Structure 1
Amino acid sequence: MGGRVSPLSVRTIMSTLESPSAEAPLPRRPDPARVQRIAGDAQAIAAAHALAERFAAGASERDRQRLLPWAELDLWSESGLGAITVPREFGGADVSYATLAEVFVILCAADPALGQIPQNHFGVLGVLREIGTPAQKARLYGEVLAGQRLGNAGPERRSANVRTILQGTTRLTATPDGLRLDGQRFYSTGALFAHRVPTRATDDEGRAVQVWAPRDAPGLTVVDDWNSFGQRTTASGTVTFRQVPVDPQDVLPIWQLAERPGLFGPTSQLIQAAIDQGIAQAAVADTLAFVRERARPWVDSGLEHATDDPYIIADVGRLQIDLHAAHEVLQEAGHTLDALAAAPSLDAEASARASVAVAEAKILTTRIALEASEKLFELAGSSSTRAAHNLDRHWRNARTHTLHDPVRWKLHLLGNYHLNQVLPARHSWN
């Protein structure tokens, strides 16, 4: 793989990335000797807090200048957090779903863009758990335990042939020279920083497969053309595959996931909800700090301090209630998944209960992320809008990330389930 890119080099590289034709550098492989082995839930939470403390210090500046977090992700790899969902029989901690969600809350309260980058890492590990062969699990889990990161080549852009995120023209084709992968994907969070880039493709039999392509495979190109106003450093841009050679052992039959109940979709959604909860917590924390330290009471209030304003006090109380409620429902969803995973078998109704639980959490975390990041300015006052404070990053991040999957369809999922007993469709967004 390529050599390590220093933060200074990243700034130099990023200054040339105004054009969407700039190919991203390769990540370095972590030194396995420096990668920690996390043993359980408490250690995972402690590691997340330790990283969050370091990540928070530079979060605003990374957002402001769009400095990609190469060095921070090296620390993430060395922390051992990437392997916390690896089953114990393969050497991992196999932490609870509730702990996985809390790890994302902690990291995303510090820096939600950096915290979002590993979302697909854990998403594809969930797919591997459900449909990987024993040999595939041993090999790929081993790479993760050594600190390697997994990205994702996301959905294709909308076109006449690609009307939904589950459709695509990416193909895995058998040739006289072996399997070859061709296609172009977008919204590829984590791919730029990854050592493997799993992607969805269609094989010669018309079935959906997931191909775990090595990041340095010939014909695989990652372009850093992500230019959203929020979640700016996730680098969720374009991945192109041009006759990429594929080892048959790097292919997972994801068509099987639609045919049987599972938890891969709810796991992905649990992480998405946790990211929004982290954004909300950061926004509320900055609201309290600004009101205490900088805000002035309104001229007609007759008060000396903004913290004595009864309207501000009431709104802060409402924010805390909504924040707490969202967090509790998120944890409840994690515990639901834990209980279902511990059961002897998982039927269609159990899989549906998992999707329902995370939909409830996603609705509440979406709402509090948007509410808290907007209410910040109302309570803190006009001085909070100064660019020097960069507090708008909370709303920009919340608005961007909560569009990942429309919350209106979560409400539909819940209503249809409770009213009409319709089980949710099985895919990564449920």
Structure 2
Amino acid sequence: MSPPTSNWTLETIHAALPAIEQELARTAAERDKAGGHAAEQKELLRQHGLLLLVVPKEYGGIGASWSETLSIVRRIARVDSAMAHLLAFQTLQLSGVISYGSDQQRKLYLGETVALNHWWGNSANPADPRLIATEQDGGLVLQGIKGFCSGTLGSHRLLTTAIHQPSGKLLIAVLPTAREGISIHDDWDPIGQRQTDSTSVSYEQVRLEWSEVLHRPDGVSTPFLTMRGVVAQLILVNLYLGMAEGAFEQARDYTLNQGRPWFASGVQRAADDPYVIHRYAEMHLKLRVARALTDEAGAEVDQAWRSGRELTAEQRGRAALAVAEAKILAHRAALSVGEDVFDVCGARATKAELGLDRFWRNARTHTLHDPIDYKLRDVGRYALEHLLPEPTLYS
């Protein structure tokens, strides 16, 4: 039987993007204040085919590269970083199926994703060891909890990781979100990224079949199987850069249309104040350099991903290094630009109705995903001794 086929293409998605961005931007600041589940906005992305971006064409999907996919994520992050986060983590869960799944599992789960055009939830936080998988009656039973489970609310499937007992090793599996014993908790209340549904998920004696396990605890690791960690980091790079670009664009619009020059500047427009011009130059350069390294990293990851099972450890390491370099600059740009925009816009720009603060809050929240110092360590090791980053779930 032929796999279901998407009616969407990369071209149709790009054609729809301006309208999608405009609609998200219309309510982004208000929704950011309210928090909660953005069901209407998630449906907007779903209706335009964005959930199928990275599903390979052989399974009926759009088959976009990581660079193509994350350029779209970055654009959405400029206006609504929470929705960009959810879309990006949709692609991350699918990357787990693509990289870890058997031929049969890929056909099943990717085909179902195309047929139902459904959301995936992330219950695979590798830094949270509280979910235990115990063998029982020819299968497994899951007991415990996972935190920071972005996108679980409203999802059809979950990608999850658990510690296998008695081996103590990690397994990766797919579950239906509605399976008996799975509970999604409404406990996400951060200062930023308030609509990512990054709640905790508990598992109470949840049955898991071995056929649902993508990566067994005794599974052999290869360079390609470790690419999900590199992809996850590239996703963060594009989210951070999109936040920085969004802050810059909103500030620029404010300066040109509502800004007031300081009385001592001797100019009639804020845009003619030499100190304002200087600060915009500084922000522009931060963005330009971060953008260049992000695009380079995307190209490296595309090449590594295309290599598939033939990927070498060195190719994988070079992709991880490029992503680490880009992440450092995107991380810094998101935080510094998110703060600097207030210096060029002035006191009136702190009005809550403008929501200009959301860019910094969202960046501050999400840049805590994993410590940037360890990316600096990886880059420093390469700069000093030409040592490529070692594969981990975060690099």
Q: Same fold by TM (over 0.5)?
A: yes
Q: Which of 320, 335, 338 is 2:284 aligned to?
A: 320
Q: Aligned with 1:296: secondary structure?
A: coil
Distance 1:295 1:194, change over 3 A: same
Unaligned runs of 5+ in 2: none
Q: Which of 275, 297, 300 is 1:333 aligned to?
A: 297
Deviates more, 1:125-134 or 1:336-345: 336-345
Q: Is the 8 A contact 1:208 1:255 kept in 2?
A: yes
Deviations 1:173-232 (A, max 9, x none): 222384221111111111113111221102233331112121111110001111101111
Aligned to 1:191: 152
Instruction: Return the TM-score normalized by structure 1.
Output: 0.85
C-alpha distance in 1, partners of 2:43/2:320?
33
Instruction: Return the TM-score normalized by structure 2.
Output: 0.92
Q: How does 1:255-294 map to 2 (within 5 A)?
A: 259-262=221-224, 263-294=227-258
Q: Is the 8 A contact 2:173 2:215 kept in 1?
A: no
Q: Is the 8 A contact 1:128 1:252 kept in 2?
A: yes
Residue 257 of structure 2 corresponds to residue 300 of structure 1: no
C-alpha distance in 2, partners of 1:417/1:135?
39
Aligned to 2:363: 398
C-alpha distance in 2, partners of 1:382/1:369?
21
Q: Is the 8 A contact 1:62 1:68 kept in 2?
A: no
Could you tell me which amino acid in structure 1 is paired with residue 154 of structure 2?
F
Q: How does 1:229-244 map to 2 (within 5 A)?
A: 229-244=191-206
Structure with the bigger percentage of helix: 2
Could you tell me which amino acid in structure 1 is paired with residue 90 of structure 2?
H
C-alpha distance in 1, partners of 2:153/2:287?
33
Q: How does 1:179-218 map to 2 (within 5 A)?
A: 179-204=140-165, 205-218=167-180
Figure out how many residues of one structure are paired with residues of the other and give that number. Answer: 387
Could you tell me which amino acid in structure 2 is paired with residue 189 of structure 1?
S
C-alpha distance in 1, partners of 2:48/2:160?
26
Q: Which of 119, 123, 127 is 1:153 aligned to?
A: 123
Q: Is the 8 A contact 1:45 1:102 kept in 2?
A: no
Q: Is the 8 A contact 1:45 1:99 kept in 2?
A: no
Could you tell me which amino acid in structure 2 is paired with residue 288 of structure 1?
R
Aligned to 1:247: 209
Q: Aligned with 1:260: secondary structure?
A: coil
Distance 1:400 1:167, change over 3 A: closer
C-alpha distance in 1, partners of 2:21/2:104?
35
Q: Which of 344, 347, 352 is 1:382 aligned to?
A: 347
Instruction: Return structure 1 stretches of 4+ with deviation > 4 angstroms.
Output: 254-258
Distance 1:289 1:280, change over 3 A: same
C-alpha distance in 1, partners of 2:338/2:382?
31
> How far off is 1:167 after superposition?
5.5
Could you tell me which amino acid in structure 1 is paired with residue 248 of structure 2?
V
Aligned to 1:421: 386
Could you tell me which amino acid in structure 1 is paired with residue 43 of structure 2?
D
Identity in percent = 31
| Root-mean-square deviation (Å) | 2.1
Aligned to 2:7: 37
Deviates more, 1:63-72 or 1:167-176: 167-176
> How far off is 1:58 after superposition?
0.9
C-alpha distance in 1, partners of 2:353/2:19?
27
> How far off is 1:166 after superposition?
3.5
Residue 319 of structure 2 corresponds to residue 354 of structure 1: yes
C-alpha distance in 2, partners of 1:276/1:208?
29
Could you tell me which amino acid in structure 2 is paired with residue 281 of structure 1?
E
Aligned to 1:71: 40
C-alpha distance in 1, partners of 2:203/2:15?
39
